[in-house]
Amino acid sequence: MSGKYDLLSEQGLRLDGRRPHELRRIKCKLGVFEQPDGSAYMEQGNTKVLAAVYGPHQAKGNQTESVINCQYSQATFSTAERKNRPRGDRKSLEFKLYLQQALSAAIKSELYPRSQIDIYVEVLQDDGANYAVALNAATLALIDAGICLNEFIVACTASLSKSNIPLTDISQFEEVSGGPKLTVAALPTAEKIAFLEMSERFHIDHLETVIETAMAGCREIRDILEAAVKEHLLHMGSASDFAKVG
């Protein structure tokens, strides 16, 4: 493995002081915008993402299937060095396809023939694991829009330290310090993996534990998101006493 530093200190702490299995702090909010059908804001450590969902609405053209259309963009001010193009570069297009792929696994698209669902995500601040946080925000926005899903789809990253200890939810600093990065998007209850991506190499013997670490992160994130959704629903519904339906 390359890299100048080890990702884990002798005391068993990571560069930002977390223990190997710990996630960064997650903050999220549903229904942040009025115009779209659903929206969400998600913060994982210092990575901050906004997501908005429009639809399902009439799709253009004559296809009978449902269309899931994503846009991934990264604010010009999101990185340490100003980005010139917020979207349309190679990385954004790649992420857009990956988002589409992962979300199609969760959306019950057979219920939406001839319809189109537009999902826009914007990274406001980049502190690593952008794709994972963007996907988590998109899930929340879809739920806010009342779109039928098989279950939560959540993503989490994992890495491996030089001492072969798996690390959950890696930050930007850990990413650039040269550790490997494995991104998993999963349906945690069904234990299905919808998307998997790896950068840098490590020995195949460790693959299973690293995937399992990422999956454990997914389950943990799912529980956090679920709690946030329930709290949001209770606040939203109880103003009008749930329209007198129990």
Partner 1 sequence: MSTNAAIDLALDRVDWRDLAAQTEEQPRVYTPGEVLMPEAGFMRGHGTFVEDENIKSSVAGVIQKVNKLISVRPLKSRYVGEIGDVVVARVSEVQQKRWRVDTNSRLDSILLLSSVNLPGGELRRRSAEDEQMMRRYLDEGDLISAEVQNIFEEGSLSLYTRSLKYGKLSQGILVKVFPALVKRRKMHFHNLPCGASVILGNNGYIWISPTKGQEEEGGEGGFAQNLNEHVPRADREVIARLRNSILALAKCKLMIYDTSIQYAYEESLRYEAHELLQQNAIYDIGQQTQGRLRDADE
Inter-residue contact 180 to 170 (CB < 8 Å)? no
Cis amide leading into 86 (omega within 30): no
Compute CA distances 240 → 51, 146, 147, whole Å. Answer: 27, 18, 22
Q: How far is the CB of 140 from partner 1 (least distance, A)?
A: 10
* x/- map, 66-105, partner 1, by CB under 8 A: ----------------------------------------
Inter-residue contact 164 to 170 (CB < 8 Å)? no
Q: Does 235 bind partner 1 (CB under 8 A)?
A: yes
Q: How far is the CB of 204 from partner 1 (least distance, A)?
A: 32
Sheet holding 115-125, edge to edge: 26-30, 38-44, 47-58, 115-125, 67-74
Contacts (CB under 8 A) with partner 1, residues 16-55: 31, 37-38, 55
> How many residues belong to the site for partner 1 (CB under 8 A)?
41
Q: How far is the CB of 129 from partner 1 (least distance, A)?
A: 23
Q: How far is the CB of 235 from partner 1 (least distance, A)?
A: 5
Euclidean distance between CA atoms 30 and 36, whole angstroms: 12
Inter-residue contact 174 to 165 (CB < 8 Å)? no
Q: Does 234 bind partner 1 (CB under 8 A)?
A: yes
Stretch that binds partner 1, among 78-86, 87-95, 150-158, 174-182 (CB under 8 A): 150-158
Looking at the chain, list the stretches that DSSP marks H as alpha helix, in order from N- to C-terminal side. 90-106, 130-144, 172-176, 207-238
- Candidates 25, 27, 91, 230; binder of partner 1 (CB under 8 A) is 230
Q: How far is the CB of 144 from partner 1 (least distance, A)?
A: 7
Euclidean distance between CA atoms 118 and 51, whole angstroms: 10
Q: How far is the CB of 118 from partner 1 (least distance, A)?
A: 13
Residue 186, token pair as written in the block: 């999963």
Q: Between residues 93 and 111, which has the closer beta carbon with respect to partner 1?
A: 111
Binding site for partner 1 (CB under 8 A): 31, 37-38, 55-58, 108, 112-115, 143-152, 187, 189-190, 226, 229-230, 233-243, 245-246
